[in-house]
Amino acid sequence: MTTTLIRTSLDGKHDLEQIVKSMVLAFSTDPLLRWIYPSEEQYVASFPGLVKLLASDNRLSIYYAKDYAGAAFWLSPGIELDQDVFAAYMKKTVLPQDLEKVATVFEQLNQAHPQAPHWYLALLGVEPSKQGEGYGSALIQSALRECDLFNQIAYLETCNPKSAAFYERHGFEIQETIQIEDCPVIFPMVRYPKSI
C-alpha cells in the first residue's frame, strides 16, 4: 500500500464526510451493526450519525488513509466514550422493541474492558474494495507502535471471526465471548505491549 496515514482531529468537513462514507461501506455487513440496525434503510439512516458522533469527540485519535479508504478510531488510556451521549443516540435510532437488549449488550461490553489503563480501538474499517491491500494493518500498526513504546495495553471488540483472525495476527487475544439473546457472538480482545 502506498497511501500515507494522517493522524487528525478531523477539523475539515470534507475529511469527515469522506471518512463517514468509507465507514458506512466498511461496516455494511458487520454482524453487530446489522443486528442493531437490521434494515438497510435503518443502517444507512443511523450509522453515519454514529460515526459522526464518535468523530466529534476531540479526545479521539483518528488515523485514516490519505485516499479515505479506511480509518481507525482510538481512545487513549483514561479516556472513555460519553455513555450518556451514546445512549441518547441509540435511543433515537434503535427500534423501540430492540432498545433494551441493545443497551444490555453495551453494558456487557463496557464491563469487558480491561481494568488496567488501555488504548481502545472503537472502530477500524476499510472499504470492501480495498480490503486485503494492507490498509487495515497500516491503520492499526500506527497506534500499536505507540502502545509498545509506552508499554500500554490495546483493547477492542469484534463479532466477525475473520476480523478476529486479523487482530490475532497483530497480537490480540480473545479474552471471552459475549452473547445476549439473539445478538451475534462478540469477542473482546486484548493486546499486551511488545518490547521494543
Chain segment 18-34, per-residue pLDDT in tens: 999 999 999 999 999 99
**3-state per-residue secondary structure call for the chain:** CCCCEEEECCCCHHHHHHHHHHHHHHCCCCHHHHHHCCCHHHHHHHHHHHHHHHHCCCCEEEEEECCCCEEEEEECCCCCCCHHHHHHHHHHHCCHHHHHHHHHHHHHHHHHCCCCCEEEEEEEEECHHHCCCCHHHHHHHHHHHHHHHCCCEEEEEECCHHHHHHHHHCCCEECCCECCCCCCCEEEEEECCCCC
Residue 92 covered by a domain = yes
Q: How many domains does the chain have?
A: 1
Q: Does the pTM exceed 0.85? A: yes
Residue 55 covered by a domain = yes
Residue 33 covered by a domain = yes
Q: For residue 12, give the CATH number of its domain.
A: 3.40.630.30
Chain segment 127-177, per-residue pLDDT in tens: 999 999 999 999 999 889 999 999 999 999 999 999 999 999 999 999 999
- Residue 3, pLDDT > 60, answer no
Residue 196 covered by a domain = no
Domain that holds residue 121: 5-191
Residue 11 covered by a domain = yes
Residue 160 covered by a domain = yes
Residue 56 covered by a domain = yes
Q: Are strands 5-8 and 60-65 parallel, antiparallel or unpaired?
A: antiparallel
